[in-house]
Amino acid sequence: MSAQLSRRAKRRLTAIGSAAALTAASFGLWAATGTAAQAAALPSPDHVIVVVMENHAYSQVVGSSSAPYLNNTIKAGGASLTQSYGLTHPSEPNYYMLFSGSNQGRTDDGCVGVGSKSAANLASELIAAGKTWGSYNETLPSQGSTVCSSGKYAQKHNPWFGFSNVPTSTAYTFAQFPTDYSTLPKVSFVVPNLCSDMHDCSVSTGDTWIKNNLGGYASWAKTHNSLLIVTFDEDNSLSGNRIPTLVYGQHVIAGSSTSTTYNHYNVLRTLEDLAGLSAHAGNAASATDITGIWN
């Protein structure tokens, strides 16, 4: 009898243990799923292009009849950050902030010594993580050229040349922008020249340039797990530095907007996290991701 009771007790303990293990496994699965759901707050695009335009306030572009492509295609089919801000004036410090989370001591628009900075930045983080990076610079005389200016080209809008940890060979001319978009780097910046970026020329000129040169990529991005971000370095110094920032692509809720206040550090942080990077440069480390626009 005692042996029989012992066997029953063992079976009962085994059953209890199995149930406990199943419960623990279920909890672990839920916890893992919860963690994955949190990580999935941002998409994981294959390609991201950031286009930086110049010196216009939000109200000069968003809603303007001079920018039909940006309004009727990019904004209407994507998302608008209605409280997006540049961080300072003039142009160059904003580019460094957007690229590296700091102005790196830059307070003017002077030509920077090539490779004079060694701080972490978006490109160096991508390269360190084994991911690809590139910039496409309109009117750059040749790939990797470190000239300060050439015609409508201005190095002050190209902060990557200031860093020793970013190979100059990753700075391409815009003529090298690929027609096969699947060959684009993981993250790239496109910098139009001083006319195409609305600095010297009209909003209409810049709008048409984006449509003609990046409209094909934008359409492709909608169905190929990719993103296009159009932003500005600063406003016209008359609107509190409120700038247009538009996001377009497969994982963006069409026609969405967010009134959360964001700046260049938030954009940089979001770019780092979209690329799956664990590192965050400068002030991006304490910035929040852009949310509320992703599907």
**Axis crossing angle, helix 91-100 with helix 264-274, rounded to the nearest 10:** 30
Neighbours of 72 (CB within 10 A): 10
Whether the per-residue pLDDT at 30 is higher than 50: the answer is: no
Helix (H) or strand (E) holding 112: none
Whether the per-residue pLDDT at 33 is higher than 60: the answer is: no
Tokens of 253: 């809720």
Q: Sort strands 242-243 and 84-85 into parallel, antiparallel or unpaired.
A: antiparallel
- Domain ranges in the chain are 1-40, 46-286
Q: What is the pLDDT of residues 108-156, one digit of tens each?
A: 999 999 999 999 999 999 999 999 999 999 999 999 999 999 999 999 9
Query: What is the average per-residue pLDDT within 43-52?
Result: 98
Whether the per-residue pLDDT at 161 is higher than 80: the answer is: yes
The larger pLDDT score, comparing residue 240 to residue 29, is at: 240
The DSSP annotation for 36-62 comes to HHHHTTS---SEEEEEEE-S--HHHHT
User: Quick one: pLDDT at residue 127?
Assistant: 98
User: Quick one: pLDDT at residue 31?
Assistant: 32
Question: 174 pLDDT band (50/70/90 cuts)?
Answer: very high
Mean pLDDT of the chain: 90
Q: What percent of the chain has pLDDT over 90?
A: 86
Question: 17 pLDDT band (50/70/90 cuts)?
Answer: very low
Q: What is the dihedral of CA 248, 254, 260, 261, to 10 degrees?
A: 30
What phi and psi values does residue 2 have, to the nearest 5 degrees? Answer: -65, -35
User: Quick one: pLDDT at residue 34?
Assistant: 33
Query: What is the average per-residue pLDDT within 159-174?
Result: 98
Give whichever of 13-22, 36-45, 191-200 has the largest mean pLDDT: 191-200
Q: What percent of the chain has pLDDT over 70?
A: 86
Amino acid (1-letter code) at residue 158: N
CATH of domain 46-286: 3.40.720.10
Question: 80 pLDDT band (50/70/90 cuts)?
Answer: very high
Residue 283: DSSP 8-state = G
